[in-house]
Structure 1
Amino acid sequence: MKLQHYLGGLEDLGPATFEKRVFVEEWEKGIFGIHTAMMALSPQLPLPATPSTFHTIWTWADLRKGAESLNPFDYFKFRYYEKWLGGISGYFIAHGYITEDELDAKTAEYLADPDKPLPAGGDPAIDQRVEQYLAQGDSPKSDAGPAPVFNKGDTIGVKDVPTIEHTRLPGYLRNHTGVVETVYPGNYGYLCDTGPDGAGPPMPVYCVGFDPQQLWPGNAETNFTIYADLYAVYVTEPDAVPAPVVKAA
């Protein structure tokens, strides 16, 4: 589990910033637009062909992996869309759309002359595909996949799956038990194969409730429940998780 993700229960990480603006600076809107266009033009989607030269798969998962690959100290230093910028830039370099030297040169060019006009472009076919994608979305719900093993009210255990590149399982829930609140109808896939982590193909998803006193003994409020939506691959029988370690006083 990478340090900078799913930080429930960790203390002394410094002051929290509660920025309520969606976009703090104007350039962030452009990053959001680039990400949206990349998703819409991703070739695995059943949408009309366009003359776009973008030919590789890009999803929310790729965006997350790009941000998560940052050094933890950089991750905490940069703002939200700065992490997006780093992940997208790294993706374009890794897939051969631009070299690192070309990107550095273009960056220096615009830093030297911030008012320099951006390249002209645009194609109605590309715009139409992006608009169609925004209108219909890309649902993860599927009729394929196995039937759920657990039912509402069942106690389940949470596995400690190996995390190599990306995960949707919070670290603070691992090796704990909870109670199934909801079994969502249908099955749900993830945007990419997460390898040994196990998410990817369509599977049941459970809403599971956890007692915060079990998660953080002696260091949590009482009389409330923490809920998490968990892929079936993350849950198991309660006796399959190790007993909690009790620290001596």
Structure 2
Amino acid sequence: MNGIHDLGGIDGMGPVGPTAWEPPYHAEWEKAAWALFPFAARAGMFGLDEFRKHLEGMHPLHYLTAFYYEHWVDAVERIGCEKGHWTREELDKRTAYYLQYPDAPLPPNDDPALVDFANWAIQNGFPAARQIETAPKFRIGDKVVVDASVPRHHHRRPRYAMGRVGEIVMHHGAHVFPDTTAAGGGETAEHLYTVRFAQSELYGAEHADPNACQHVDMWEPYITLARS
């Protein structure tokens, strides 16, 4: 789906303004928010793409004004409500309690195995490469066009590349396909390619550096051979 999360190429958002150094966390609660993802994923509550789908389902105004890790908390809360792990009323009740008693201790839950898993996840991530029997449809050097349709589900096609023509420069084998896993319907895999686009193709000659290009990873269902 298209949404406010897909910011690439949008005008009027102002400069990014990078800083020389950014702390990994700005408050203690952000550390706990980070832990929600690997621990909930380990428990089988959701996978990466289902998590991303819920990040993108935030209200646009909330999405733009929330802290980064607030997105994570919001997504985990909604997934848990949808799957019956807790209710909105339970979350509101617990929130009200800690707002009234901010120094109250959290329930103890010492689990060394979870700590070991978090350390492993930081170092290794969650590899998405898979083996499939289907041969790739495209070869390095092929000119391809990106599907410009707008599905009503999660996908990983950036809006600025939809309908644009690029050249395949790498083939990465098969990787987990986000469109199906985000829906919670089980894992499938598709061939993954890196496609090189001229900046003028993406943004128009008036705004692009004529000598610059941009590389975007595209799953096989996202692209078709371009007409010569």
TM-score bucket of the superposed structures, by smaller chain? 0.7 to 0.9
Structure 1: distance between partners of 2:94 and 2:108: 15
User: How far is 1:67 from its partner?
Assistant: 1.3
For the pair 1:91 / 2:93, whether they are aligned, the reply is no
Residue among 21, 27, 30 paired with 1:28 = 30
Distance (whole Å) between structure 2 residues aligned to residue 128 and residue 7 of structure 1? 35
Per the alignment, residue 58 of structure 1 pairs with 46
3-state SS of 1:236 partner? strand
Kept in 2, the 8 Å contact 1:158–1:235? The answer is: yes
1:194 positional shift: 5.8
| 1:76 matched to 2:78 | no
Change (3 A) 1:202 1:2: same
Q: Which runs of 4+ in 1 moved over 3 A?
A: 14-19, 123-138
Q: Does residue 3 of structure 1 match 2:3?
A: yes
Identity of aligned residues (%): 27
Deviations 1:76-105 (A, max 9, x none): 111210111111111111111211111111
For 1:1-249, what aligned pairs fall within 5 Å after superposition?
1-16=1-16, 18=18, 20-42=22-44, 57-124=45-112, 138-184=126-172, 186-190=173-177, 193=180, 201-217=188-204, 218-239=206-227
Name the TM-score, length of structure 2 as normaliser. 0.87
Q: Decide whether the 8 Å contact of 1:166 with 1:194 is kept in 2.
A: no
Tell me the CA shift for residue 131 of structure 1: 5.9
Structure 2 gap segments, 5+ residues each: none
| Paired AA for residue 28 in structure 1 | E
Instruction: Report how far residue 6 of structure 1 moved.
Output: 2.6
Tell me, which stretches of 5 or more residues in structure 1 are unaligned? 43-56, 241-249
Q: CA RMSD of the aligned region, Å? A: 2.5
CA contact 2:200–2:209 (8 Å) conserved in 1: yes
Q: TM-score, normalised by structure 1?
A: 0.80
Report if aligned partners of 1:205, 1:230 keep a CA contact under 8 Å in 2.
yes
